[in-house]
Amino acid sequence: MKLRYKKATIEDINLLTKSRIEVLKAANKLTDDMDMAEVEAQSYDYYKKALSDGIYTAYLIFDSDRFIGAGGISYYRVMPTYHNPSGNRAYIMNMYTHPDYRRLGIATKTLKLLVVDAKEKGIKAISLEATDMGRPLYEKFGFVKMNDEMELPEHRVI
């Protein structure tokens, strides 16, 4: 096994988009026949702008030339608070490791690279959504469950 972690650039946009669709299918337990054309097009547009603007960092993981995983972090700003005076935040997303390579520390290393990237940008508030499979990794890394957030479901938005 010859692992290589590559910080993504705009030249990697097609691979990023493809991996995003795979992550969404896996996380949502979607079949391969689900129409993901709109999500794919919007993801491509997101990556194009976010990578150019520097508000998204992604790492791609390869075993020799075989793509085996990815992880990303999105940067944004909210109103400043007492605990976060800058209002700068980060959101980890698109964590994926090919099933043949799980339990080898790849996701942990990817997560560490993303957290270091955020720290280098001065970000102290990092959040994520965890699948049942990913939750033990994030808890071991130090992430804690949030109790105070709420969400208005799409069908309730007026």
CA distances from 142 to 12, 24, 88 (A): 30, 24, 20
- pLDDT at residue number 131: 87
The 10s digit of each residue's pLDDT in 56-78 is 999 999 999 999 999 999 999 99
Task: Calculate what percentage of the chain has a pLDDT beyond 90.
Answer: 82
Average pLDDT score over residue span 20-30? 89
Minimum mean pLDDT range among 15-19, 80-84, 96-100, 154-158: 154-158
User: Which numeric CATH code is attached to 3-156?
Assistant: 3.40.630.30
Cα angle 30, 58, 118 (rounded to 5 degrees) comes to 120
pLDDT at residue 23 tops 90? no
pLDDT value, residue 109: 98
What pLDDT, on the 0 to 100 scale, is given for residue 60? 97
Rounded to the nearest 10 degrees, how much is the dihedral formed by the CA atoms of 90, 155, 19, 12?
A: -60
For residue 91, pLDDT beyond 80: yes
Residues 24 and 39: beta-carbon distance below 8 Å: yes
Q: What is the pLDDT of residue 103?
A: 93
Residue 158 predicted with pLDDT over 80: no
Confidence of residue 41 (pLDDT cuts 50, 70, 90): very high
Higher pLDDT, 48 or 27: 48
In the block, tokens 């208005």 appear at 152
DSSP 99: G
In the chain, which residue ranges form alpha helices assigned H by DSSP? Answer: 13-27, 37-53, 106-120, 135-141
The per-residue pLDDT for range 135-152, each reduced to its tens digit, is 999 999 999 998 888 888
CB atoms within 10 A of CB 59: 21
